[in-house]
Amino acid sequence: MIHTKSALIPSQSPAANPAANPLFSCKANHTGRSPVLLFSRMHQSSLLAKLDYSVLQQCMHCGMCLPSCPTYDETKRERNSPRGRISLMRAVADGDLTASRAFAEEMYYCLGCLACETACPAGVDYGSLFETARAEVERTGAAATPQRTFWRWLTLRHLFLKPRLLRALGTALRIYQKSGLQFVVRKSGLLRFLPLSLRALEPQTPTIAPRFSHELIAEVERGFAIRPSASAEPPPSQNKEPGETNSLPPQTPAHRRVALLTGCVQDLTFPHINRDTADVLLANGCEVFTPPVQPCCGSLHAHNGDLESARTLARRQLDLFPVGELHAIITNAGGCGSHLKKYGHLLADDPAYAARAHDWDAKVKDIHEYLVENGCRPPGAGCGETSVTYHESCHLCHGQKITAQPRQLLKLIPGLTLTELPESSWCCGSAGIYNITQPEQSAKLLARKLTNLATTQAPVVATSNPGCHLQLQNGLTAHPGHPCQTVTQPVTLLARAYRAEMAAAEARLDR
């Protein structure tokens, strides 16, 4: 495994013999960086030392988090548990440990699924500790290699900071996929010249949608504008000019103005889910404001130790949306939503943005949460499916504590039976970019999830995060005989039901 191959990581618990544990050593430097520079960075005040120390002390070492932790469940090693990692973080804060290569590997072996927060009786804010520990790893350069530094520069500092550039890359990748060039490259054997890690990732490349969110959703939409189809390629009759909708007279007054966040991965690969989200909001009496060009929310940056870029992106979001004029700011991605609700914490020390960030946090709502809070209108028709199971996004259920609402919405759909998924809240192995950085452990978690899915015999699994969606989709594609073959989302099934209801109403009007 990636986390065990370093000779710096011992087989015993860090608590067993601190003096003999290389995690507590400052001597190793496998980064290729200047020893003087590394020493200088390590001996500056660590980011963990700057935290409120009570946060680090909150862990009671009771061990109730252990059964909930996928990495501890896999290895049964203390250092791979939330309790063990918090002990290491506290040692860094106390100055007993520097952010060595081994410390870095342990922090990046953690999924960041936050299942430990749900299990913790003391309410430890593991998410903040986890992000700060990774930021400390990046500050010191403990995990730096030339290849890693290049990819972080390209992705975190360029692609995911510049939405137009990301869409341009998406367009190029779409052409590569649709032109047949991808097929030719795969059949030609050229991929064998790629490094093994990239060769393994290539089959997981997501299919880029034919059209992005701004091509499917007008900047402002009002009324019951449910479309007969939310496919990325609507039929010619559905191609409208910006601002024009295909609507019947509204069934409910559009008195609640909400903003819709389209995301970055969601925008490139699942823009139809953004369209579905807008349609469901319209069907429930909302006016939907969707800026055509939106920055990344910053969750990818915060979860990977780049807190400064996360703050930059948070400021851009606050500048883009008129928070005071909105009833709510809607997110439909569990991982993004968990981060979006913490802008107040992220920008607490920024006098120009702190107050606005606090207001933003109060307005951000997950789509399932918002619909249930405001009384989602039951659809008058089915969605075309009869049986579904539900996989919970880690950051939706553990980060945002939203578990009942997606199930409640699924149960509103006529003719649809929800079958509970065993270990529904156990991580699928996607965890942001974990399936890229830790492919072996990610594959084990995916296999466990597929086994549980098979027990439900449901042909459809709904989830609520683009990372989970892609992970499950790739896993099921690799197992064509699996009883579950369709991955969707609750909001998509709800939108289909509203469309069926509207089609039936139109048919009655035509008689």
> For residue 224, what pLDDT is reported?
60
Structure tokens at 173: 């990748």
Exposed/middle/buried for 147, CB within 10 Å: 0-12, 13-18, 19+?
A: exposed
**380 domain-assigned:** no
Rounded to whole angstroms, the Cα distance separating 414 from 381 reads 6
In this structure, the answer to whether residues 222 and 344 fall within a common structural domain is: yes
Residue type, 412: L
Rg (CA), the chain: 23
Does one domain contain both 111 and 178? no
Provide the pLDDT for residue 44: 58
- Tens of pLDDT along the chain (511 residues)? 334 333 233 333 333 333 333 333 333 334 444 444 444 444 457 899 998 888 888 999 999 999 999 999 999 999 999 999 999 999 999 999 999 999 999 999 999 999 999 999 999 999 999 999 999 999 999 999 999 999 999 999 999 999 999 999 999 999 999 999 988 988 888 888 777 777 777 778 899 999 999 999 999 999 764 544 444 344 333 334 433 333 333 434 447 999 999 999 999 999 999 999 999 999 999 999 999 999 999 999 999 999 999 999 999 999 999 999 999 999 999 999 999 999 999 999 999 999 999 999 999 999 999 999 999 999 999 999 999 999 999 999 999 999 999 999 999 999 999 999 999 999 999 999 999 899 999 999 999 999 999 999 999 999 999 999 999 999 999 999 999 999 999 999 999 999 999 999 888 887 7
Q: What angle do CA 299, 494, 466 make, to 5 degrees?
A: 25
> How many angstroms separate the CA atoms of 466 and 179, rounded?
25
What token pair was written down for 320?
């883009």
pLDDT given at position 291: 97
Handedness of CA 238, 334, 128, 77 (dihedral sign): negative
- Domain shared by 456 and 365, yes or no: no
Q: Please indicate, yes or no, if residue 9 is contained in any of the structural domains.
A: no
Per DSSP, what are the bridge partners of residue 486?
460
Interatomic CA distance for residues 221 and 218, integer angstroms: 6
Residues 123 and 175 both lie in one domain: no
Query: What backbone torsions phi and psi does residue 144 show, to the nearest 5 degrees?
Result: -70, 135
Place of tokens 């439900």: 456
Q: 243 and 173 in one domain?
A: no
Domain termination residue (choose one: 144, 176, 191): 144
Contacts of 137 (CB under 8 A, 6+ apart): 99, 103, 104, 107, 108, 143, 305
Measured between alpha carbons, how far is 360 from 323 in angstroms, rounded to an integer? 6
CATH number for the domain including 416? Answer: 3.40.50
Q: Same domain, yes or no, for 179 and 252?
A: no
Q: Quick check: is 504 in a domain? A: no
| Residue 127 and residue 221 share a domain | no
Pair (286, 243) in one structural domain: yes
SS3 of 103-126: HHHHHHHCCCCCHHHHHCCCCCCH
Instruction: List the domain range (segments joined by +) for residue 412.
Output: 387-499
Token pair for 491: 């909001």
Same domain, 241 and 344: yes
Please tell me the predicted confidence (pLDDT) of residue 247.
Answer: 37
The CATH number assigned to the domain holding 71 equals: 1.10.1060.10
Residue 507 inside a domain? The answer is no
In a domain, 4, yes or no: no
Residue 130 to residue 110: CA distance in whole angstroms: 9
Q: Report if residue 70 sits inside a domain.
A: yes
Tell me if residue 414 falls in helix, strand or coil.
coil
User: Are residues 440 and 478 both part of a single domain?
Assistant: yes
Q: Return d(Cα 468, Cα 487) in angstroms, integer.
A: 10
* C-alpha span between 44 and 40 (Å, rounded): 7
Does one domain contain both 297 and 341?
Answer: yes
| 278 vs 288: CA distance, rounded Å | 7
330, 356 Cβ separation under 8 angstroms: no
Helix ranges (H only) for 396-438 are 404-412, 434-437
- The CA distance from 465 to 243, in Å, is 28
The reply to whether 7 falls in a domain is: no
Residues 6+ apart with CB under 8 A from 485: 459, 476
Query: What's the CA gap between 382 and 499, in Å, rounded?
Result: 9
Domain count, the chain: 4
- Domain of 246: which CATH number? 1.20.1050
367 close to 280: Cβ distance less than 8 angstroms: yes
pTM for the model: 0.85
User: Is 505 part of a structural domain of the chain?
Assistant: no
Catalogue the E-assigned strands of 413-483: 417-419, 460-462
Query: 66 and 140 share a domain?
Result: yes
